[in-house]
Structure 1
Amino acid sequence: MKGIGSTGGESYIRQEVYRGSESCGQEVVRMTDRDAARQHELVEKARKGDAESFGELVRHHRSRMLGWALGVVRSRELAEDIVQEALMQSLRKIGSLEQPDKFVPWLRTLVRNQALMSIRRSSNRRELALGADGDGSGSGEYEAALALAGGTAWLQQQDGDPQAAVFGRLALREMQSLLACLSGRDRSIAEASLFGGLPVRDVAERFGMTVGAVYTAVSRSRQKMTEARFENEIEHYMEARRRRGKPAAKRCERARYYTSFGAYNTMASTMAVTLAAAGAKEVSLTEVMAATGHAFRIQTAPDLGVSGPYGYNWAATLRAGWRRLGYVAVIYGGAGERIGQPCDLAAAMDVLLERLESGIPAIGWSLNNTEFGLIEGFDDRKRQWTVTDTAAAGKRLSYAKLGRLHDDAEWFVSVPTGRFQVDRTACLIELFEQTAGHIRGSGRSSSANAAAYGIEGAAAYRVWIETMNRQQATDPLGVAYNAAVAYEARKHASAYLRGLVSGAGGISLCANAVPAITYAERLYRQIAGMWEQVCRLFPLPYGADPTSPGPADRAARLLERACEAELAAADALAEAAAHLARRRTGC
């Protein structure tokens, strides 16, 4: 596997960021041990007065500080002021930080406290206008407003905090302004139900409606106000971009679906196109399939439906793929994630637009179809992205609809932001061990978001075999598509392992590992052949009836043999990983 690029002496800390839909400005940062050690070193030097180290920390974390501030205040200009003040505080107080490994939580606390102090300072000027009476009355109205703003959980966490009441009043004011997007009866119903606190039956009686009609009207009003919030956030963001003199439009001309990169696996395909646009055209689709683990993965839904091949942890898979190819990347959302707040979208746009301006497209989910596609351009004047997937090229998508194309759309985008020198042998060991665990595993992800994932490994084979043995009623398209994806993956697995043994991967293999890798390659070639036969039984777009005894019985026998071969290949790769690890450590 090729490691692409190097840091070239750059002094940034490499990290991978996952921004989900929890709350504005929050993210989980996963750094390697090496990166964590580098940050620890910088903090230690900054504590001793090293201005250059402190400056590097600031450059690295400033955009995140802005996201934290925007999670509390609505104004981007005010958030900038909050960040500046927090930076001054951190410079004064960093010498008192006793645990350097707690630097990020410490910095987040400084920003949050400064943001709340800003709200407190402004509250004295606003209390009379907001009708505050200081006794906590009207909290139901504040909670209703926060529920619309998505901030109820935040308010509950701050129970007893007087600043929470101020924040609630500000949210109420915002919600009242959003009512302007409603007209006629819908606005009156929303005011009575959401802000007046009237029971649904009373609202129905007042307006001469059924209870069901009230629920429908309130739901419709919430949806309209949610859309208005996202549109308002985009407008504020665009105004900030204009003030900074940012380009109004850009199209990544190098971001195209090349014929050689066409694949059923659209994550790998779009990743390959992104790498080619970034200048790494020597990276093949086979290498991308291996780096992400897709070449060795199999997962399915219980009914063998068309969603099965996408039933895995998108964020973890893409993160591993970028890293093994020598790229740092940002990742927002994941399988089963929904975008929570407008500021989540604004935070993502900061990175996406910066990379698009540099000619680097981003990978996104459900940009047109329910698959991975490319964000390859933008137009601030029209407030639109230019997106491409297997079904559409150069289609326009509203800024506010990114991650929100339809009601149940999952929120996921990613873009590479830097390069580093990768340890190819370590990545290969990790890949082989991961593959062995995947095939032998329990079948379902242990992640907290496991409901979004499918059945994997040997357990996925069992679902196939049992479905075929029972001639169970199954969607023919789903069966054909699942088979095509599995066949494609195994072809890439065989090609990748064959390249390793021949030296094409650029990795010097130890002699003891070669026989095991060679054996695994032969097994994957056989497995690909078996899946090819299954594909002939159930060709796309429609194949034989999965409930038909003839094709179903033949498929079951083929897949029993394929599963046995997969388990043997997993053993061989685990053995190869052990040999590589011993050589690497000198044991």
Structure 2
Amino acid sequence: MDATILSRHEEQEEQQTADDILVERAKAGDREAFGELVRRHRAKVYGYARSYTQEPFLAEDIVQDALIRAFLHLGTLVDSRRFLPWLHRIVRNQAYTRLQKAPQKREQVFSGLSSAPSMQENTDWEDLDSILHRLGRRWSQPANPGETPEDVLVRKELLQTITGMLHCLSARERRIVESHFFDHLSPQEIARLFQISQANVYQLLSRSRKKLLQEKTRVAVDQYVLSRKEASMMKKAVLKTPEAFGLQTWVTCAMALHGMVNAAGRSFSLPMVMGLSGHAFRLTVVPEQIHIAGPTMFPFNEVLQQGLRNMGFSSHVVNDFKPGENIGVNANFVDPSLLGAKAREKRELSQMLPRALELIHRSIDRGYPVAAWDLFIPEFGLIYGYDDEQKQLHAGDNCGHNATIAYDHLGRGLMEDLFVLTLGEAVETDQRQMLIGALQMAIEHYRGTEPGCGAVNGLEAYAKWLEAFEKRGIEPNGNSYTLAVVHDARRNASAFWRELADTWTDSAFDAVRPSWLEAADLYGGIAEGYAELCLLFPFPAGGEPNAPAESQKAIQLLQNIQSQEQRAAALLENMQKALSE
């Protein structure tokens, strides 16, 4: 036998013997021996759990449950040499049990503090309120005779976690939280005890809960990174800087989509990405003032994922984005310090951050950059690398940003929203299906049937825009930005139809090819009209859109564009009918 093979065999035998000894000691009640067994095999056990679920947090929960059960039932293991297969079976059973459960609900706000939530029979172990109430209910009670040993250990572990988290509170906040949850005092009783108003009690409890949620998220992120370390997955992976960062476009979501699909081997031009994803035909405005947020006030999930499907890809999203909630924020008017790292530290962590990090790791490891919102400013960018040791992401955009971002700064930009989008698997499609999907998106947007986000879409947006000019209440910066974005979109719309006419040479498209050429000319004329408006109201200063002469000229140009857009929408509907026959 080869000496190397013999040496490995001897090492395996020695490890097996050592495991056998540890198992026998653990069966006799030696906790340190069981701890050593866990240390030796935890990474392997975690790997078992990950083979059943791709979610690292769920895998970690499965491992924790399995180890508790293994410790409690170790005495049932007859053959000490079968410890690892026996543990594997417990992991498998726990995985099947957890995967069959319904999805956990999202965290809820403090509600009904004066009611009796502590009488709940069921506990949602993912919900902070539910955990606190359960722990509080059982804080000073003796063990229930019917309570299983597993419940006792889980309760003890969670109690230690929660009490550890309480250290993020001030001394006063902690006393009030403990008084309410653990001493079962009502807000009225707490108010009397601490000589404060009931309103202050509610405020302190609400503020404390927010702090606890933030601490819970920090712990979850730390546990996620630790799980990668234990599974020997800690590394630094940085892809080639996306060429999309060099694209000259105001439509940053199209830039991000371009970088993603081209990394996956689909060599789409920018006009092709803009057309197939529907962004070449979009117009979204905020009524009355034409706020800068208008062009990005659309349902990210639906629009971007459908756009990727039109290009032949499934996708995955983590979305904690709430369109319209921060409409009053204009990054061009805020103190520059609010866009920096120190300002991010003061903003809330998204509870979905661990899931977002898992999605990013998985995509980068496949070689695909990740689209994300508000990485540096409220625009779209691409994440193209990570460094687990430093807990940093490598990211950039086509607005001049290219830098690292701390893991826990993701989703803590000016808008305080988290949105990441990754490519899934390629889906079977053809040119005809791709174009029909793009036309459907464009027509729904034109006709205003797309889900709204507090702004006005498509053809109806022209009426609101004209009304804003007539009332002379336009915000110059937002108006000039909207013009720049829509001009860029229509310029690419013209190029999109021209590229189809030149490159999609299949005879099946002969009947609609003349319509493509007509559309190229029509959108070219629309782009020229927007180019005039951009000269009249240049970004970022925006000119004087509320001055009588400039306002009247803008109204005339917009009315002409509106007429052309109506013709374009009708042309797209005719194309769709022809392709669907």
Per the normalisation by structure 1, the TM-score is: 0.69
- CA distance in 1: counterparts of 2:316 and 2:401, whole angstroms: 24
Q: Per the alignment, in what secondary structure is the counterpart of residue 390 of structure 2?
A: coil
Residues in 2 aligned to 1:153 and 1:465: alpha-carbon distance in whole angstroms = 55
- The structure, 1 or 2, with the larger RCO (C-alpha pairs under 8 Å, 6+ apart) is 1
The gaps in structure 2 that reach 5 residues or longer are: 1-47, 70-87, 105-115, 135-146, 326-346
Q: 1:486 deviation in Å? A: 0.7
Once residues 273 and 76 of structure 1 are traced to their aligned partners in structure 2, the CA distance between those partners, rounded to angstroms, is 42
Paired residues of 2:394 and 2:402 also in contact (CA < 8 A): yes
Are 1:438 and 2:436 an aligned pair?
no
3-state SS of paired residue (1:542)? coil
Q: Which residue of 2 aligns with 1:367?
A: 375
Q: Decide which moves more: 311-320 or 510-519.
A: 510-519
Partner of 1:455: 456
Q: How far did 1:517 drift?
A: 2.3
Greater CA drift, 489-498 or 558-567: 558-567
Cα pair distance change 1:88/1:151, threshold 3 Å: closer
> Per-residue displacement from partner, 1:138-180 (whole Å, max 9, x unpaired)?
43799899764588999xxxxxxx99x9999986664333102
Question: 2:421 matched to 1:414?
Answer: yes
Post-superposition offset of 1:463? 0.8
2:550 is the counterpart of 1:564? no
- Between 1:264-273 and 1:412-421, the stretch displaced more is 412-421
Secondary structure at the residue paired with 2:509? coil
**SS of the counterpart of 2:382?**
strand
CA distance in 2, matches of 1:527, 1:324: 25
**Aligned amino acid, residue 463 of structure 1:** K
Shift of 1:323: 1.8
Query: 2: distance between equivalents of 1:82 and 1:555?
Result: 71
- What do residues 324-368 of structure 1 show as CA deviations (whole Å, max 9, x unaligned)? 222232122164279999874333333321222343221111222
Instruction: Note the C-alpha offset of 1:233.
Output: 0.9
In structure 1, the residue matched to 2:471 is 470
Match of 1:237 in 2: 224
Q: Which residue of 2 aligns with 1:321?
A: 307
Query: Between the two proteins, what is the percent identity of the paired residues?
Result: 25
User: Which runs of structure 2 are paired with 1:137-536 in the superposition (5 Å)?
Assistant: 138-139=118-119, 148=128, 174-193=161-180, 195-200=182-187, 202-209=189-196, 214=201, 217-259=204-246, 261-280=247-266, 282-302=267-287, 303-333=289-319, 335-336=321-322, 344-390=352-398, 393-405=401-413, 409-441=416-448, 445-446=450-451, 450=452, 452-471=453-472, 473-502=473-502, 504-505=503-504, 508-536=507-535
Q: 1:425 to 1:88 in 2, by over 3 A?
A: same
One-letter code aligned to 1:373:
G
Shift of 1:468: 0.9
Residue 53 of structure 2 aligns to a residue in which SS?
helix
1:150–1:285: structure 2 CA closer, same or farther, 3 Å change rule?
farther
**Quick check: 1:70–1:76 contact (8 Å CA) kept in 2?**
no
Q: Give the Å deviation of 1:524.
A: 0.9
Tell me the SS of whatever aligns to 1:478: helix
Q: Structure 1: which 5+ runs fail to align?
A: 1-57, 90-106, 116-135, 155-161, 583-587
Tell me the SS of whatever aligns to 2:497: helix
* One-letter amino acid matched to 1:269: M
- Write the letter of the residue equivalent to 2:420: V
Equivalent pairs counted in the alignment come to: 468
2:209 is matched by which residue type in structure 1? Answer: R
Letter in 1 for 2:394: T
Contact 1:141 1:195 in 2 (8 A): no
Q: How does 1:42-61 map to 2 (within 5 A)?
A: none
Could you say what the CA RMSD is over the residues aligned between the two structures, in angstroms? 4.1
Change in Cα spacing, 1:543 to 1:351, as seen in structure 2 (3 Å) is: closer
SS in 2 for 1:264: coil
Whole-Å separation in 1 of the counterparts to 2:304 and 2:348: 22
- Classify the secondary structure of the residue corresponding to 2:316: strand
Amino acid at match of 1:232: V
Q: What is the deviation of 1:191? A: 2.1
